[in-house]
A and B are shown apart, each in its own frame.
Chain A
Amino acid sequence: MSNRMTNIVVPVLAVILGLIVGAIIMAISGYNPVVGYQALWEGILGDSYNIGESVRTITPYLLAGLAVAFAFRTGLFNIGVEGQLIVGWFAAVWIGVVFDLPMIVHLPLALLAAAIAGAIWAFVPGVLKAYLGVNEVVVTIMMNYVALHVTNALIKNMSDGSDSTERIHESASLKSSFFEQITDISRMHNGIFIALLAVFVIWFILQKTTLGYELKAVGFNRHASEYAGMNVKKNIVVSMVISGALAGLAGAMEGLGTFGYVAVKSGFTGIGFDGIAVSVLGANSPLGVVFGATLFGSLKYGAGNMPSAAGIPEELVSVIIAIIIFFVASGYIFKLLLEKFSKKKEVK
C-alpha cells in the first residue's frame, strides 16, 4: 500500500474507531449513543445558526492546525501555538481599540499586528533551537505560560484594572452582516476567507517554492540539507516565525471576529492545543488540516448541544478527540496490520 494511501486510511480508520469508542463510553455510562450522536449532529448542522457557529469555530482551528503542521514539516514541534495565539489575540484587539483608522488600513494593520506578535513569540524558541540546539517543545510550553500571564497583566493595565478590554472599533472588525443574515445572527465572520487563503498560501509555499523545498528538506534530514548547502539555522527560524504568524492570526480571528475584545483568562483557550490534534489528524498537510479542522471544530461546537438535547456531558467529545489522536499517533500498528493484510492477499 502506498504511503499516500496509508496517510488517508489511518486517519479515517482512527476517526471511525474513535466514534465507536465514544459510543461504547456512552453506553457504559447509561446514555443512549444514538440519541447522543443525533444531538451532536443537530448541534453541528441542525439549523443555519448552528452551521454558522460551526464555521466560526472551524476558522481559528484551520489557522492553529496550519501553524502546527507547517513547523512540523521542518521537523519542529510547535506546542507554543496556544501562547502565540494568545499574544496575537491581544495585539489585534489592542490595535483595534487604540487606533481609529479607515477600515482599509485598520483591519490589515490589526491582522498584521497579530501575525507579528505571534511570530515574535515563536522567534524565541526558533532562535534557541537553531543556534543553541535547545529543545523547542519545552521552550514553547514555557512560553505559553509566559504569554498567558503577560497578556493578562497587559489587559488589566489597558482597561484600568477591569477584566476585559473595550470593544474594538468597527473599522477593525471581521464581522460580516451578510453571514449574520444568512445564519440567523451567528458569530460567523469573514475570517474564514483569511483562513482558507492561508491554507492555499501555505500549500503553495510548501509545494511550489524553493523556501518550502528547503524547509521540508531540513525536516527530512538536517545534515543532508546542510551538506547540500542550505542554511539550516535560518530555515529553522523562518519555519518557527511563519508558524507563529499563523498562530497569531488564529488569535486575531477570535479577537477581531468572534469576540471583538479580549478578557483576562484563567486558563488556556485550548485552540492551540487542539491545533496539534488537527495537524496530527491531517498528516501535517494543508489539505489534511482542512479535514482535521472541519472535523474537530464542528465536533467541539456541536458538543455544546449534547447536554441539553441528550443529557450527555459535552466533555465526551474531548475524550473522542483524544482517542482519535491516540489511534492516529499509533499509526505504526495500523500500518503493520495493513501491510500484513495486503501481503497475505498478494500470496493468495
Chain B
Amino acid sequence: MSFLEIIAFIVPNALFYAAPLIFTGLGTVFTERSGVTNIGAEGLMQIGAFTAIVFNLAMADVLSSMTLWVAILVAMVVSMIFSLLLAVASVTFRADQIVTGVAINFLALGLTLFLVKKLFDGHGQTPMIQERILRFDIPYLSEIPIIGPIFFENVYLTSYLAILAAIIGWIVLYKTPFGLRLRSVGEHPMAADTMGIKVNRMRYIGVMISGALAGIGGAIYAQSISLDYSHATISGQGFMAIAAMIFGKWNPLGMMGAAIFFGFAQSLSTVGSSLPIIEDIPSVYLFILPYVLTILAIAGFIGKSEAPKALNIPYVKGNR
C-alpha cells in the first residue's frame, strides 16, 4: 500500500468511529459547562442505541431508506426525556451528581436489556437491522486530487454531521447570549443568579441537550457499527466521550479534535493489523491509548484541563 492509500484508508475510518463520540462528547460539554457532572453519558447512549435499533427493526418496511434518520430523531427525543431523570435528581433534589450518573448507567442497561428480552422472546440480543448507515462518495468533492480520496471518498455522512454539530456547538457556547449564560451558571451560579439568570433552568437545559446528543451518538453507533443491540453494544463509548471532553478542555472544538484522535486509535486497533508498522504494535497499547492520554491531559502534562468551577455542586439559592 502506498502512503496515500494508507491515509485514505485511515482517515475515513477514524472519522467513522469518531462520529458517535463527537455527538455524545458535545452533549457532555454542555451539561458540564452548566455545572452538572455527567457520568451518565454511557447510559444515555445505551438508551439512544436501543431506541434506534428497535425503531429501525419495526419501521424499516414502512419508511425504507428514511428509517435511519427518523430512528436517530426518535432516539434523540427518547434519550432526552430519559435524561430528565438525571436533571430532576441532581438539580431539583440536589442528589450527588456522580451517584445519580452511576444510577442512570445501571438503569439504562437494565431497562434496555429487560425490554430487549421482553420484545424479542427472551433473547438477549436484537436481530440485525437491514437499513444501515452506508458509505458513499461525496459528489464533486471526491474528485479533487489527493484531498478527495482522503476526505470525501467512501465516507459516512454522519462523520460530517458530527463535525458540523461540534462547530455549531462551539458557536452556540461562545458566540450567543445563551452560551454565555450557560457557562456563567457553571462557573459562578450565584453571580449568574444575581444577574437574573435562572440557574436551575439553565442546568435542566444543559442536561437535556446532553440527553439529546448522547441519544444521537448512541443511535449512530448502533446503526453504523454494531447493527444490533445487546449488553455489549455500548461498552465504554460514553466514558470515552467524557474523556474526549476533558482532553478537549470542555471546549466543543477541542473535544472534537480529541474524539477524532480517539476514533483514530479505536480504528487502528481494529483495522491496524492490515497496515505496515502498526501491525507490529500489540493492540493493547492502542486500546489503552485514549485513557492513558486522558489521565496525562487532566494531570496537566499535556496543557492544563480545568473543569468548570461550580461543577458537581448543587445550587442552593441564598447559600454562600
B300 to chain A: which residues have CB within 8 Å?
132, 134
A142 to chain B: which residues have CB within 8 Å?
239, 243, 291-292, 294-295
Chain A, interface SS category? helix
Q: Count residues of chain A with CB under 8 A from any CB of chain B.
A: 46
Complex Cα distance A302/B209, Å? 38
B242 touches A141 (CB 8 A): yes
B175 to chain A: which residues have CB within 8 Å?
none
A318 touches B39 (CB 8 A): no
A130 to chain B: which residues have CB within 8 Å?
none
Q: Which of A54-62, A109-117, A159-167, A272-280 has 4 or more CB atoms under 8 Å from chain B?
A: A272-280
A329 touches B89 (CB 8 A): yes
A25 to chain B: which residues have CB within 8 Å?
114
Asked if B99 CB lies within 8 Å of chain A CBs, one says yes
Q: Count residues of chain B with CB under 8 A from any CB of chain A.
A: 45
B106 touches A318 (CB 8 A): yes
Asked if B14 CB lies within 8 Å of chain A CBs, one says no
Given contacts A134-B299, A135-B298, A139-B298, contact A325 B102 (CB under 8 A): yes
A266 touches B232 (CB 8 A): yes
Asked if B282 CB lies within 8 Å of chain A CBs, one says yes
Complex Cα distance A79/B102, Å? 9
Asked if B60 CB lies within 8 Å of chain A CBs, one says no
Chain A residue nearest to B43 (CB atoms) is A322
Residue of A138, A141, A318 touching B109 (CB-CB under 8 A):
A318
Complex Cα distance A146/B294, Å? 11
A152 to chain B: which residues have CB within 8 Å?
284
Residue of A132, A135, A149 touching B284 (CB-CB under 8 A):
A149
Asked if B231 CB lies within 8 Å of chain A CBs, one says yes
Complex Cα distance A138/B250, Å? 14
Chain A: residues with CB nearer than 8 A to chain B? 25, 29, 77, 79, 124, 128, 132, 134-135, 137-139, 141-143, 145-146, 149-150, 152-153, 266-267, 273, 276-277, 280, 307, 311, 313, 315-319, 321-323, 325-326, 328-333
The list of the 7 closest CB pairs from A to B, nearest first, reads A318-B110, A322-B107, A322-B106, A313-B117, A153-B284, A329-B95, A330-B93
Residue pairs across A and B with Cβ atoms less than 8 A apart, 30 shown, are A128-B299, A135-B307, A139-B299, A141-B239, A141-B242, A142-B243, A145-B236, A153-B284, A266-B235, A267-B235, A273-B105, A276-B102, A277-B102, A280-B99, A313-B122, A315-B111, A318-B107, A318-B113, A318-B114, A319-B106, A319-B110, A319-B111, A322-B104, A322-B106, A323-B107, A325-B103, A326-B85, A326-B103, A328-B99, A330-B93
